[in-house]
Amino acid sequence: MAGVRGLRLLLALLLPVVSTSTAGTVVRINKAVLSYVSEFGKVPLQEALKVDDQHFLDQSSEVLQTVRIQVPAVRVTRLHLKFLPDFGIYMWAAANFTVKVFCVPESLELMVPVTLQSDLRVTQSSLGTPKISISTFFPHFGRATVLDDNKNLSPALLATLQKDIKAILSSKLNLNLANLVDNINIHMGTLIGLNPVSPESQICYYMMNPPSITRDYISMNLNAVLFLLGNPIILPMDTPHLELPELVGNRAAMATLALSQNLFDSVLLLLQKAGALNLDITAHLQSDDNPLNTSVLSKFIPEVAHQVPEYKPVVLKVRLGAMPVAAFHNRSITLRLQPLVEVLATSSNSAFQSLFSLTVVVNLNLQLSVSKAKLYGTTSVVGDMYLAVASSNVGSINLDRMYLLMNTVFEKPLLEHFNALLGIGISLPTVTNLHYVNPDICINENSVVISSGLSYHP
């Protein structure tokens, strides 16, 4: 409970702050999911409908006696769900209840068929999660039958007994269904859980407004908030707010997600602020073909030989002071990186001597994939790399020769480092144990649309 209260306080403080910067996400649950839930939901519904010992007074005989009943088994034979526009979900279920009656002089076992109808309202909770509440609930009881063939029960006594059972179960089933709905709401509350992006950062989703409900889907507008060392990452104020396009994707899929460009910008800003995009590039120091040394540099920068006459290893310190820029096109995303690369000579006492620094511009093509509940990325270099001298302690630099060296020593380590980061994955909107399966990814001019099946693994 302390964790729930802490998260409630966190969101209460956070929502006004992040309202100026929206890393928008739209989750649309299509009606294709209803068949899956109808089949998967039979077992938890059966368990929820079981009734523990209940007692009532039997007034059918001259002597009052206490009768005890219990429902040890319920078999849901059919479960049907459909969306109710601007409201929520309609549920219809058919079930057979095994009812044990403990009375004097002998006990018996009945089978009672029951159909259940309920209108379930779907709204937004105060924490920004989906919330289900029971609007109406109607159990309809069929004719009870005695399961023990050796026991003859008069129709009048059976009718009286069934009336008592109906009176007890009507209120009890309403309470049991309410408990099941409460458990579902608790489970849906895991939507706003903090999921790690790196050891120092997390991502959290919450609903921005009540869901939109039609006959075909429930659509939820979510905001994604990224935290670095406990502080939310806010996009620069001059970053334009991009409206999500009208949802596309495969309506036959169980779920459709639209991830805005602002979400990708937020992730890139998080990685940049965390320093996760920085790296040091070195070669194997004992390798005969190691190009990162002062001897190689002195061949086209003579001043290097004057300042560092001995053979020394060289380190490239790659630092991204500027946020990477994501450019969305139809079917592709390009990441533009502008790192500053400082070239330093090392010595035996681990000191560094700065030789020069370069401004580098490199474009990467971003390929996306989804596994379970995470979005992953891989990159490859697109086009030519741009170099410019930012500063120099060794005089003039032949950029053509430097370009050839950077092609050899810079691109591969940069891609390996960047792909390792993107290989960690960013959590997509989901609840505990719910995974995306067979996703289809479509890239538009300002969003990524994912059409996917869903699979629940309790």
The CATH number assigned to the domain holding 86 equals 3.15.10
Domain count, the chain: 2
Domain of residue 277, residue span: 198-456
> Averaged over 295-324, what is the pLDDT?
90
Q: Cα separation of 430 and 129, whole Å?
A: 11
Radius of gyration of the chain (CA): 32
315 vs 4, residue with greater confidence: 315
> Averaged over 104-111, what is the pLDDT?
76
> Is 158 in the same domain as 208?
no
> Averaged over 121-148, what is the pLDDT?
92
> Is 396 in the same domain as 379?
yes
> pTM for the whole thing?
0.86
Residue 313 domain-assigned (yes or no): yes
Q: Which residues pair with 303 in a beta bridge?
A: none
**Last residue within a domain, chosen from 146, 165, 190:** 190
DSSP state of 246: P
**Last residue within a domain, chosen from 151, 173, 190:** 190
118 neighbors 138 (Cβ within 8 angstroms): yes
Residue 4 domain-assigned (yes or no): no
> Is 231 in the same domain as 171?
no
CA distances to 118, 122, 255, 368, 453 from 212, rounded to whole Å, are 20, 9, 14, 28, 20
Residue 437 domain-assigned (yes or no): yes
> Is 270 in the same domain as 379?
yes
- pLDDT tens-digit readout, 4-20: 445 444 554 444 444 44
> Is 336 in the same domain as 418?
yes
> Is 282 in the same domain as 264?
yes
**Token match 């079917």: residue?**
331
> Is 78 in the same domain as 226?
no
**Last residue within a domain, chosen from 170, 190, 210:** 190
Q: At what angle do helices 42-49 and 32-40 cross, to 10 degrees?
A: 50
For residue 97, what pLDDT band results from cuts at 50, 70 and 90? very high
The CATH number assigned to the domain holding 444 equals 3.15.20.10
Query: Per the omega criterion (within 30 degrees of 0), is the bond before 105 cis?
Result: yes
341 neighbors 279 (Cβ within 8 angstroms): no
Angle, alpha carbons 371-374-379 (nearest 5°): 85
Q: Cα separation of 294 and 298, whole Å?
A: 6
> Is 237 in the same domain as 91?
no
Q: Where are the beta strands (DSSP E) in 372-446?
A: 374-392, 426-427, 434-443
Residue 382 domain-assigned (yes or no): yes
18 neighbors 231 (Cβ within 8 angstroms): no
